[in-house]
Structure 1
Amino acid sequence: MKEVFCIGELLIDFVAEKQGNNLSEAKEFTKKAGGAPANVACAIARLGGKSSFMGCVGNDPFGNFLLNVLEEEGVNISLAQRSEEFTTLAFVSIDEDGERDFVFSRGADKEFKYSPSIKNMFYNNMVHFGAATALLGGNLEEAYGRFLFDAITHDAFVSFDPNYRADLWKNKEHIFIKKCMPFIEKSTLCKFSLEEAKLLSNKEDILDACAFFHEMGTKVVTVTMGAEGTLLSSHKKAEIVPSIPVKAVDTTGAGDAFIGCFLQQISGLKETNELIADFDLLVKMVAKANKAGAITTQNYGAIRSLPTQDQLNT
C-alpha cells in the first residue's frame, strides 16, 4: 500500500450552530479540527490507508489539540511543524441546506517550510496538493511548489484539489487561476467542484472544461456536483457517477471525504497506470468516494463525520 502525503493547512474550524444563513447571525460556535489536507489525511487513515500530514500549527493549545486529533485518527504527524505564529482559525456558518459561509484568520499554516530530506519519502508513493491557503503566499507557497517538483522527479502519484475560497481571492481570481496551472499540468488526478472547473477552465460547458484540463496534462478529472453526483472524465470517456440521497446538515468535509476515499483506493493498486486505462474501475472507485462524501454531510464537523470502511460497505 502506498503512503499518501497531504500538504497544506491544519486549522481550527469554529462552526456556528443553531443560526440563520450567515456568520452575521451566528451566536454559538463549536471548536472542530479542520483544514482540507488534514481532512483528507484523516479520511485516508480512517479507511485503513497510510497518510502523512505536512503542515504547520502554532505552539499554542489549539495547535496541540489539532495534532492530537490527527494522531488519534492514525495520521502520521512526524512531518508537521510548529511555529510561534498563532494557529490558523476559520469561522464557519452552515445554512439550512448545509452550505457554508467562511471567514479565515490566517496564522501558522503559512509558516510551513520546505525540507529537502522529505523528497526521498515520495518515491513510488502519492502526494496530494489540496490546500485552500497554500497559494496565498508565505513559506507554505514556496514549499508547495518545491514539493511538486520533488513529487514529479520521484515518480509519485500527484493529485490536486484547488479548494477555491471566493472570500480569499476576491478581485484576484486571475492570480489564483495562474497559480493553479502548474499543478493541473503535472497531476495525474484533479478534483474540482463545479464552480472551480468553470473558473479555472473559463468554460461554461463542463465537458469542455474537462477537455481543457486534459489538454493541460491531467489524466483523470473529477468534478463533484453535490447531490447530482460526480462527473468523471478520462481522455477517452466521461460519465456522471451518481451519489446516494442524504439529508445534508454540513457540507464542510464532503469534498475532502470524497478525494480521501478515492486516494485511499488508489493507494492499494500495485500500478497506478492500470487506473488510467480502466474506466470501469474508476467508476467503481468514484461511486464509493461519492458515498463517503455523502455520509460526511450528515453531521457537523469534517473529521469527526468521516466514514469508516464498515459504513461504506453497508
Structure 2
Amino acid sequence: MAPAPLVICLGEALIDRLGPHGGDPAVDPARCDDRLGGAPANVACALMRLGTPSGFLGRLGRDAIGAAFRALFAARGVDTAALQWDAERPTRIVLVRRDASGDRQFGGFAGDRGAGFADQALDASALSAALGPLLATARWLLVGTIPLASPAAASALQLACREAAAAGVALALDVNWRPTFWDPAADPASGPTPAQSAAIAPLLQQAALLKCAAEEARWLFGSDDPAVVSAALPQHPDVVVTDGGAPLRWCFSGRSGELRAFRVPVVDTTGAGDAFTAGLLHGLLHNPSQSELHNQPEPLLRFASACGALVCQGAGAIDPQPSANAVEAFLASHDA
C-alpha cells in the first residue's frame, strides 16, 4: 500500500498553455506547448518526486485533460482518494504568455462551455466526507488563494482549513495571487481589491508557513520585509518572500536573512515557485531537529531554491521536477 500523505495539496489542477516566447497563446495556438499544471497539483507531484507522500484535493472535468491528470497522479503515486470529477464543466486551460527570457504572465482562459470550470465547483460536502482519514495522518495542508475566487471552491477551502486546524494539521499558504481568476478582464499585474484582501485575510491568520512574492507582500502588508510580514500576523508564521532573480528573503522564528538565487539557463519559469514550496515542505518534514532548522534555515532554503532552479531549466511545471538525489547533485556542483 502507498504511504499515507504527509502533505495535502488543495486547489486547482489545469493546463498551462505556454505561448511561444514573445508570442500570444490566444492567437498562435499552433506554436503553443500545453503542460499539466496548477500550483497545488504541481506541489503534490514535486513532493512525490522528492520522496514525500502527498495527496491532491481538487476537481477535474471528465475530459482528456482530466484523464491525463489521472494518469500523472497514478504514475507519481499522489493520493487521489478525495479527487472530485465533474461531468458538466471542463478542466481549465490557462493561457500563459512568455517573454524572451522565459518569464510568464497569465492572460485568460480557454475551454469554458458556459458553466465555468471544474475547479470552480469543488464541492464542500463531498470534500468533508473524504477529509477525515487524510487529516489523521497529514502534517501540512498546502493551499493558495485561487479557490477563494469562486463561491463553491471558497466554501470547500474554508471547510478544509477549519478541519485542518481542528485536527492539528499546520497550514502552508502560497499566496499565488492571480487576478484573472477573480475577473478574466482584470489586469494580470493588478493587486487585490480591499474585498479580495479581506477574503484572503483568514488564510493569512491561520498559516504557519507563508510564501509570497515581493509584490504580493507589498499589496497585503505594505512591506516586502518578511520580518514585518511575520510580525503583522498574530501567529507570527515563518515567512519566505521571493523576488524572481533577486535574493530570496526569509524570517524563521524571528530570525531573518536572505539567499542569493542560483544562476541557471532559464527555459520556462512556470512552476519554479511550486517546486520551491515542495522542497521547503519536504525539508521541514524530514529534518530531524526542528529547533536547529529554525536556528539555521539556510540549508533548507538552498535545497528548496535548487528545486526551483532545476524546474526553470525545463518546459512546464511538472516534467522537470527533480528527485532529492538530483537536487543534492545540483547543490554539490553549486557549492557556496
TM-score (norm 1): 0.90
Deviation digits for residues 183-220 of structure 1, max 9, x if unmatched?
111111011011111111123x525642444x342420
TM superposition shift of 1:267: 2.2
Tell which deviates more after alignment, 98-107 or 69-78.
98-107
Aligned ranges 1:17-96 → 2 under 5 Å: 17=20, 19-20=21-22, 22-23=24-25, 26-27=28-29, 28-84=31-87, 85-96=89-100
Number of the residue aligned with 1:109: 119
Describe the shift of the 1:22–1:238 C-alpha distance in structure 2 as closer, same or farther (beyond 3 A).
farther
Number of the residue aligned with 2:270: 252
Number of the residue aligned with 1:210: 229
Aligned ranges 1:126-275 → 2 under 5 Å: 126-131=139-144, 133-169=146-182, 170=186, 173-203=193-223, 205-207=224-226, 209-213=228-232, 215-269=233-287, 275=290
Describe the shift of the 1:198–1:264 C-alpha distance in structure 2 as closer, same or farther (beyond 3 A).
same
Describe the shift of the 1:160–1:80 C-alpha distance in structure 2 as closer, same or farther (beyond 3 A).
same
Tell which deviates more after alignment, 279-288 or 34-43.
279-288
| Structure 2 unaligned residues grouped into runs of 5+ | 111-115, 330-336
Q: Is the 8 A contact 1:15 1:29 kept in 2?
A: yes
Q: Is the 8 A contact 2:293 2:300 kept in 1?
A: no
Q: Is the 8 A contact 1:184 1:218 kept in 2?
A: no
Distance in 2 of aligned mates of 1:307 and 1:290: 12
Aligned ranges 1:299-314 → 2 under 5 Å: 299-314=314-329
Q: Is the 8 A contact 1:26 1:93 kept in 2?
A: no
Distance in 1 of aligned mates of 2:284 and 2:35: 28
TM superposition shift of 1:32: 1.0
Higher relative contact order, structure no. (Cα contacts within 8 Å, ≥ 6 residues apart): 1
SS in 1 for 2:32: strand
Distance in 2 of aligned mates of 1:21 and 1:94: 7
Deviation digits for residues 135-186 of structure 1, max 9, x if unmatched?
1123211010011011111011210011101333537522221111111111
Distance in 1 of aligned mates of 2:153 and 2:139: 19
Deviation digits for residues 64-119 of structure 1, max 9, x if unmatched?
11221122122112211100211111111211122112123450011211232313
Describe the shift of the 1:120–1:111 C-alpha distance in structure 2 as closer, same or farther (beyond 3 A).
same
1:298 aligns with 2:301: no
Distance in 2 of aligned mates of 1:312 and 1:12: 26
Q: Percent identity?
A: 25
Match of 1:12 among 10, 15, 21: 15
SS in 2 for 1:92: strand
Q: Which amino acid aligns with 2:9?
A: C
| Structure 1 unaligned residues grouped into runs of 5+ | none
Q: Is the 8 A contact 1:8 1:109 kept in 2?
A: yes
Describe the shift of the 1:48–1:166 C-alpha distance in structure 2 as closer, same or farther (beyond 3 A).
same
Distance in 2 of aligned mates of 1:283 and 1:254: 19
| CA RMSD, 1 decimal | 2.2
Deviation digits for residues 35-56 of structure 1, max 9, x if unmatched?
0000000110000110000000
Distance in 2 of aligned mates of 1:51 and 1:281: 26
Tell which deviates more after alignment, 25-34 or 44-53.
25-34
Distance in 1 of aligned mates of 2:205 and 2:137: 19
Distance in 2 of aligned mates of 1:259 and 1:279: 16
Number of the residue aligned with 1:100: 104
Q: Which amino acid aligns with 1:206?
A: D
SS in 2 for 1:123: helix
Q: Which amino acid aligns with 2:79?
A: N
TM-score (norm 2): 0.84
Distance in 2 of aligned mates of 1:222 and 1:264: 15
Tell which deviates more after alignment, 129-138 or 78-87.
129-138
SS in 1 for 2:82: coil
